[in-house]
Chain A
Amino acid sequence: MAAKAATKSARKAAPTASTIPGITFVQELEGIKEYTLTSNGLRILLVPDDSVPVAGVMITYHVGSRNEAIGYTGATHLLEHLMFKGSEKFNRENGNLMEITIESLGGMLNATTWFDRTNYYSIVPASSVHLPIEIEADRMRTARITEKDRASEMPIVRNEYERGENNPMEALDKEMWSAAFLAHPYHHSTIGWKSDIEGVSIERLNQFYNDFYWPNNATLTVTGKFDELAILKLVKKEFGQHTKSPKPFPAMYTEEPPQQGQRRVIVKRSGTNMIAIAHKIPNAHHADIPALLVLTNVLAGGDTSRLYRAFVDSAKATDASTYCYELHDPSLFLSYITLTPKTTHAEGEKILLREYAAIKEKGITAAELARAKRAVRRFIASRRDGAYAFLSSLNEDLATGDWTRFAKQPEQIMNVTAADVKRVANTYFNEDQSVFGQFIATNS
């Protein structure tokens, strides 16, 4: 019944709290309508878009590797894998395991884990939008997290870890974060340490599930072609079966102690020579983040950017990239340079520091600012080009704890001035708050 209701083509007016008892309308921004399932606190975001006959469903849990500690690093990610092993309604015995159900439709089903969140998403033909909603509701509280599955899944996750270790940039990236954060859990990568992947117990994973997988720690997003009223009724029916968490979520109270001086890391192994520099930046909600995003574009946004010109255009490097990590807690502004064989680490470091210093001293040009803002307009359009692009973009804003950033941040970036960029460069490009890294290829 739910399936038919959810796929009716007739469009109805956007529901409000009065039309569906138990669902509260909260706000609408940029075509994203927020509701709350009153009984258990599940946040619901509906984003109707009938431009294509496809729908996307995503549930985002506000738990990530930030919520782990030594001994069970990587647990969030391993648990994510185990969430595909079956639930009360969707399981192998019934012949309708989650992936079988979605993949048999030609749909896409997957999940990702990151510092601050874990998300499960499906992209399906619009007529089947009800199925991922039923799956996510069921596995939210009835997932089968068993020792048998942990034992068989662990080597798979370990091989995922091993794949990453083959990549010089990923290996260096892990060391950069570890050096930058001594106490805060951003210290370890989301995949975790190998021995923790191998050793974490099923009891610990079940505790993790029972601590965090509750409706009041989750956001359900539905985008694409669907009937809004029918979807809200379905969400109420399926997720309304769950209570809110019986106890408060475990608090992550560890704060990073002040950094007092530059830290340096070296990774020596077979691979490619690289250098990297990281600086501490505030969390995603800080007013300086928009200017730091503009700075990211100026430094490494395409083949007119400063690092591209300084390194790649001059054949000193094969690649240059910069990332401003917008996270729940204070994080990092990172640049990576993959050096060509004739460029020494010392030479690369000198060029990189010169480019950072130039921005601190002279700021950026009007043309650079304009290019960055144009890139924002392109980004806004591209994140609406398909259900997956939309969900993956919104997911990162959800992870910070405030999804409305999705709607508000473009304007904030458009208001950034060249003076703002120079100011944030001087505020955060502080040697004492930095980590400098080298990947030294032992084969060269």
Chain B
Amino acid sequence: MEPIASNVTELELADGVRIFIAPTKAKDVVTLQGSVLGGMLMLPRGKEITQALAVELLDAGTVEKTKDQIREALAARGIGLSFSSGTDRTFFSGSCLPEDFSFLLKTIVECLTGATFPTKEIALAKERMRGELEEGKTDTNFRATIALSRMMYDPSHINYADTIEERIKFLNSITRAELLAFRKMLGREGLVISVAGDITPASAERSIRSAIEKLPKGTTETPVRKLNQKRPEAKELLVPITDKANIDTYLGVALPINYDHPLYLAFTIFNSMLGARGLSSGHLMSTIRERDGLTYGIYVRAGGFGALSEGFFRIWATFSPATFKVAVEKTRKEISIFLKTKLTEQGLLARQDQFAGSYVVGLSTTNGLASTLHSIGIEGKPLSYIDAYPDLIRAVTLDDLKAVAKLIPFDKLSLAASGSFDTKAK
């Protein structure tokens, strides 16, 4: 793989600000990924939804401009801009033509520093979010993920999911003052911006420096890391919804690791061997789908990992009501077979080759490159990590994979599923 870091300009500024500028040969397109400290972990229990409401409203009016002025100015330039929430960060991403990059940055900073959260807009946003939550009541995937997370985590953990009714109650309680207080957390502290595409480092640096000098310091609060108090325990929860042709099914367990864990890379390789999306490359896809015909898709979907949060191992599959029970049984059986027979040197080597190739493919778009650089920034890794990654993957050993297998209590996988269950089925 040709070196990438040498083509990336990194700026390390005060307050932990990290900027990555990656010019590419893409024409007429610039992609930006960024984030600042300030997230659900910094909010009191029951008020976490403040962040989701705030990001919905960051461009709905600032001290300088109305919602229409902001949105029409962005649309007139064809700029895409969105804000999203996270555990300890607030994220933003955008894409634009090269000549509009400065405007995109200025708008982001204006929203982060000057969003006023007009009362009328708060009411409308709450109404929309209540609508989405009501939609979620018949969304089999949403219901199953909520059910699983409640079995895996204790209620004080950031990965514990409130019920839809609880979320609506919490949403209704959020005040404008709380939104303003949350917005004041957002500033230079921990700012990471990565930009890739049709741009020169000098012009991008000028635009970024000019824009971010208006950012206040932001929060310096270090959230307390709350360890999951719930012990792994194999439980089962079926969430029935009428008229559903498909059952969304999860098998999962919380893990006592975050993404800084020494086995984290081995964990990602392990997950890929067991549950990659490809038809052949994941053991579960090649058996439960290709051999047994029991699903359209079955994948490992691990997540919830952060600097301060322990994540989870999780398998997601869709099953027909008629074969749900047998499909779950076969999945558990195939996990056992995988652990006994598939953790081999040959299997590891093949996966390492695959990772090396997919890494090149993944970095071939401006969004893929910007996203990777942004992850490096927020995870506190050096820029050189972008070139070192394939070697680090190569350094994972079979013993590492076996250690990962011991780390995951497979006998404690909980089952959560949602759909229309066939009580007469096998």
Contact = CB atoms under 8 A, between A and B. Distances in A.
A159 B323 CA distance: 11
B368 A386 contact: yes
A315 B72 contact: no
Nearest to B29: A381
B419 to A, nearest CB: 7
Interface residues of A, number: 74
A338 B128 CA distance: 11
Interface string B133-165: 011011010000000000000000000000000
B120 to A, nearest CB: 10
A190 to B, nearest CB: 15
A159 B318 contact: yes
A166 B140 contact: yes
Interface string A353-396: 00000000000000100110011011011101111110000000
Interface string A255-286: 00000000000000111100000000000000
A103 B77 CA distance: 39
Contacts of A371: 75-76, 78
B28 A315 contact: no
A115 B131 CA distance: 33
B188 to A, nearest CB: 28
Contacts of A312: 128
A107 B97 contact: no
Nearest to B359: A106
A53 B365 CA distance: 11
A52 B292 CA distance: 39
Contacts of A124: 357, 361
B407 interface: no
B77 A374 contact: yes
A270 B243 contact: yes
A158 interface: yes
A136 interface: no
A107 B361 contact: yes
B319 to A, nearest CB: 7
B26 to A, nearest CB: 5
Contacts of A378: 29, 78, 80, 95-97
Contacts of A155: 293-294, 320, 323
Nearest to B96: A378
A106 B358 contact: yes
Interface stretch (B111-119, B230-238, B276-284): B276-284
Contacts of A301: 75
A125 B242 contact: no
A369 to B, nearest CB: 11
A29 interface: no
Contacts of B95: 378, 382
B241 A367 contact: no
A154 B293 contact: yes
Given A103-B279, A107-B358, A271 B243 contact: yes
Interface in A308-364: 312-315, 317-318, 338-342
Interface of A: 50-54, 84, 97, 99-100, 103-109, 123-125, 128, 152-163, 165-166, 168, 269-272, 301-304, 312-315, 317-318, 338-342, 367, 370-371, 374-375, 377-378, 380-382, 384-389, 441-444
Given A313-B124, A384-B29, 15 more contacts: A50-B25, A53-B2, A103-B280, A103-B281, A106-B353, A107-B357, A123-B364, A270-B244, A315-B131, A340-B130, A377-B78, A377-B97, A378-B96, A386-B366, A442-B242
23 contacts: A51-B26, A52-B24, A52-B25, A52-B364, A99-B278, A106-B361, A158-B320, A159-B294, A159-B319, A159-B320, A163-B245, A163-B296, A166-B245, A270-B242, A313-B124, A317-B131, A318-B128, A341-B130, A374-B78, A378-B95, A382-B29, A382-B95, A441-B138
